[in-house]
Structures are given as structure tokens and as C-alpha cells.
Amino acid sequence: MSSDRLIYLPLGGAGEIGMNCYVYGYGPKDQERLILVDLGVTFPDMDGSPGVNLILPDIAWLEERKDRLEAIFITHAHEDHVGAVGHLYERLGAPVYARAFTANIARGKLEEYGLSEKVVRTVSAWPETVQAGPFSVGFLPISHSIPESAGLVIDSPAGRVVHTGDFKLDKTPLVGEPWDPDLWASVAKDGVKALICDSTNVFSPEAGRSEASIGDEIESLVDEAPGMVVATTFASNVARVKTLAEAGERAGRSICLMGRAMRRMIEAAIETGVLSDFPKVVPVEDARNIPRENLMLLVTGSQGERRAASAQLANGKYNGISLKAGDLFLFSSKTIPGNERGVIRIMNQFSEMGVDVVDDRGGRYHVSGHANRPDLVEMHKVMHPEMVIPMHGEHRHLREHAKLAESNGYASAIAVNGTMLDLGGHAPKVCGFVETGRTYLDGTVLIGALDGIVRDRIRMALNGHVLVTVIVDEDDEVLGDPWCELSGLAETGRSNAPLIDCLEEDLSQFIGRAGAKTLKDDDKLEGELRKIVRQTAQNEIGKKPEVTVVISRLVG
């Protein structure tokens, strides 16, 4: 028997929803030739990553082994699968393969970084394959909430692995290929070693519904609207955007796309031939002059993003267009957990204008793009692999999915980010752990999530900040009094005197009684001054602020 290993190693997406990044390898231990599947991002929030622009997987492990990396494959063009390609490409340097629509989006990302678009190579659907070291990889079409989503057929000398990517089982997806169980079964007919499978909706008990199931509801809603209609959805859901636009067109409305991502996605879909019959759209400048009852806007910002078109409209005006009483705003989307506050804010702003806000209303105006529990069972059955490895999910999703697979007789394992599995046997075997984590794009710089930089920002936000300045002369005597600058702290507290006065008074008193030994020793002096500030603030206002002490020593 060969001593070569077939390994699977998630660097992102396993233990979280978002930031997909999966390594496969084949070869002798620690000399495996590698391929990467997806290179996505996740989004920051005020709770854990204030001020951060974007969150990327920590690819340090892979970067150190980039000489062994044969290729990068992108399953589809969602940000959590393709979003880090521009930011991280240079650190990996391997060619990027994708289907036409995904490749179009990926090229745009590389262009932003001034990188050659040529690194992205367009691949046709299965049975075309790409040779990447010991691997042969093909793109197997599957339905999802974006065009040209694909599972990957990954063949190696140790057998066939199928990586589903994100998927749903939709036989009428409106745009892109329908779920084709015969095609997938044909891939599986000679046996599949492992099915690496999307877990997002494992807790949804009913079979998923088709994209085609909501068209009529949307059409009646738009048809009956008396004023302007504005609809938002995920810009990449080209099928939905088309359904919305067609509903508007049938109701005699001119269609206008607002928001860069919305225009970009439709453009890419048309360029790549994914979309051929999209209603005629009018530019924003013309939309302003169209009577509101004849106008329908399709806008970005379904998640309440502050700078997107929907938030701007909620704030009052966007590109010269504003909503008013009698208009309709439709969220043809679901709110991703964690985004509720932003979405609710917008809903209330529209309510204040008298705009009627309609959300998905329990599924009337939105369907999910992921396979629900019964759909997962069907996928397992169609592919009848030796093992099912749950991917793309929080820990609770992976665990539930593994339990589901095992209850149906498949070997399974929970492998979170950094867990290396050997898929070579008849059951997954943990064969290593790799340090993984998150990299923050902060402004224009990449920083480590654990570098302490963002932690310091969070601390300032929670505790406020006091700056203490002391000038010490050549003889180690303090010149004048220490003084403070406060940021983010109440001005007065318990004693009703200004907090800054209390602090400076207590610091002065300390300096007055401090010995020469303390005054000579920067660390000691700084420590003492910090302690006093924190104690006094705690007494006065009940908070212990962050403290920066600056000791300026005059040199004689």
C-alpha cells in the first residue's frame, strides 16, 4: 500500500459561516502537492472587529508551502468564496481556476489590486477537467443563489472526492443550471471516497423551495403597488434580480439598478452569457424624471450595510431620488444573523417616511440558496460516498450534519478550521492540527486578529482613555504639574468637580511625595501614575480607563 496521503484541511469556513478556504493535498506525508478550494472573506462587526474593513483567512500555513501549491479553484462568486482572491493572491501565486461568471468576478478583484487578470483561467463545466499536480479537478454544475455555482470533482490516486461548494437542490433556478441528480449520480457511479458537504441549512427541517416558487407572489406585490417600488436582494442573486425586474417590467415600470455591486453582477452575467434576456434598464439620471408609479429601483443593501443604496435611501436621498409615503420597499432577502440592527434601523426610517416595508414574510418573497436537511440527505444518497465531511458551518452545524450522516450509515467527522483529515482510508482520520485564524484588512494593511491592535481599540471604546503627561528636568525634578487629556469619559463624577481636576490633583499630590528613585525610573513612575488615574477614575465615575503616560525627560 502506498504511503501517500490524501489530506483535507480547512483554513476557513469550518466552524463559521463565511470565509471559505479549504486545502486538499496528495503525496507523501508533509510533501503533499496541494490545491486550494475557495479563498473567501467574512465581514467585521463592532463587537469584535471595530474599524476593520474585511476579514480574511490566515493563510500563513499555506504561504509557507506555496511551492507545493498547484492551483486555486473557486466554486462560485460569493464574497465568502472569492472575496480574498485580490488581497491574498500575491502571497500564494498559483493559477486561479473558475467557471466563466466566477472568473469574471475574480478578475475584477485582481484588477483592483493591479494584478494581472491573466492569472484567472476559465474552465468549462464537467466533464472538462484541470490537471493540478496529482489532482484532476472538474467543475460540476449545481444550483445555488448565484449563477454557475459548481461542486468540484477532485480525483487523486487515492480516489475521488466531491466538494459540493454551496448548493441547493433546485430544479428550476431560473438562471444557471438546475440540480441534475443524474449528472451527479454519474460522477458517483464508480464510487466516491468523500463528500465534503455544505452544512449551512442543516437545521432547516423542510425541503428547500425553488427560486421559481416566489415569482408570482413578487409579481402581484409589485403589480398592486401604487407608488414607487424599491426592492433589495443580494446583488449576486442574478435570478432574483431578474425576477424582480421582470415583475416591474410586466407592471409597466422602468427598471433602474442602484448600487455598484448590483450593476457589476448583472454586467458580469450578461458578459459571460449567463443572462441573455434581462429587462431594459434606465440610468439613474433618467429615473429621476420617471413618474414614481412607473418606476422600480433594484438596490443593494439588503443587510442594512451603512453605505449601500438602501441605507442611503433610508437616510433621505440617493442619486437624487427619495422615497415618500405610498412607496413600497421590499426586502427580497433574509437578514443574516448579526445584521438585524442595521436592517431594522432602515425599516424604521422608511416607516417614518410613510413607506410600506415588506420583508420576506416567512418565505413569500425569498428562498434560501442552501440545501436544507432533507436535501442534504438526498445529496448523500445520490453520491453514496464512503464518508461525509461537513463543511461551511458553525460548529453546531458541522456537528449536526455529522450526526445526520452517521445516522444514515456514512462515516463522518467534525473538522473545524486547522484540523487536518486523512481521507485515504475508509473513514476520516485526524492526522494533524495547523494553526489558523483570521487576518484583518485594516485600512490598507493586513494585521493579525490576535496582534492586539484591535483589542486596544475595543478597550478604548469600552473604557475611555486618559493621557498623562509629565515633564522631568535634568535633575529628575518634575517641571510644573502632571496634566491629563481625557477621551470618551464623563466630565464630572461623584465629587462634582471636573474629573480632569480630580485626576491632576491626585497625580500632583503623588509627585509631591514621590521619592527620587521613582522619579528616575520611567517604568516605575509610569506604573504609579497609571494606577492613580485608574483608582481616581474608578472612585469618581466608576470606570477604569485605558491610560497612556508620556514622560518627557529634558536632557541638560
Residue 191 interacting with its own copies (CB under 8 A): no
Burial (CB count within 10 angstroms: exposed 0-12, middle 13-18, buried 19+), residue 72? buried
Among 453, 498, 514, 524, binds its own copies (CB under 8 A): 453
Among 216, 224, 340, 505, binds its own copies (CB under 8 A): 340
Residue 454 interacting with its own copies (CB under 8 A): yes
Among 487, 495, 509, 535, binds its own copies (CB under 8 A): 487
Span of 75-83, 133-141, 340-348, 509-517 interacting with its own copies by CB under 8 A: 340-348
- Give the nearest distance from C-beta 283 to its own copies in angstroms: 31
Q: Please name the residues in contact with 160: beta carbons below 8 A apart, sequence gap of 6 or more.
A: 153, 154, 187, 190, 191, 192, 193
Q: Is there a contact between 11 and 29 (Cβ–Cβ < 8 Å)?
A: no
Residue 465 interacting with its own copies (CB under 8 A): yes
Q: Please name the residues in contact with 155: beta carbons below 8 A apart, sequence gap of 6 or more.
A: 129, 135, 136, 137, 161
- Give the nearest distance from C-beta 442 to its own copies in angstroms: 6
- Give the nearest distance from C-beta 416 to its own copies in angstroms: 8
255 vs 549, which CB is nearer to its own copies? 549
- Give the nearest distance from C-beta 206 to its own copies in angstroms: 11
Closest alpha carbon to 67 in 115, 32, 98: 32
Contact set for its own copies, span 207-246 (CB under 8 A): none
Q: Please name the residues in contact with 246: beta carbons below 8 A apart, sequence gap of 6 or more.
A: 215, 219, 279
Span of 30-38, 91-99, 106-114, 461-469 interacting with its own copies by CB under 8 A: 461-469
Residue 546 interacting with its own copies (CB under 8 A): yes
**CA-to-CA distance for 20 and 42, rounded, in angstroms?**
9
Residue 120 interacting with its own copies (CB under 8 A): no
Q: Which of left, alpha, beta for 159 (phi over 0: left; psi -120 to 50: alpha)?
A: left
Burial state string for 186-212 with b = 16 or more CB within 10 A and e = fewer than 16: ebbeeebbbbbbbbbbbebeeebebbb
Residue 115 interacting with its own copies (CB under 8 A): no
Contact set for its own copies, span 42-61 (CB under 8 A): 45-47, 50-51
Helix axes 373-383, 181-188, angle to 10 degrees: 40
Q: How many CA atoms lie within 13 A of 325 on its CB side?
A: 2
Peptide bond before residue 127 is cis, with ω within 30 degrees of 0: yes
98 vs 472, which CB is nearer to its own copies? 472
Distance of CA 55 to the CA centre of its chain: 7
Q: Give the per-residue contact string, 347-386, with its own copies (x = CB under 8 A; - = no).
A: xx-xxx-x--x-----------------------------
Per-state percent for the chain, helix, strand, coil, to nearest 5 = 35, 25, 40
Contact set for its own copies, span 433-452 (CB under 8 A): 442-445, 447
How many of the chain's residues bind its own copies (CB under 8 A)?
63
Contact set for its own copies, span 395-414 (CB under 8 A): 395-396, 399
- Contact residues toward its own copies (CB under 8 A) are 15, 45-47, 50-51, 337-338, 340-341, 344, 347-348, 350-352, 354, 357, 394-396, 399, 442-445, 447, 453-454, 456-458, 460-465, 467, 469, 471, 479-480, 485, 487-494, 538, 540-543, 546, 548, 550, 552, 554-555
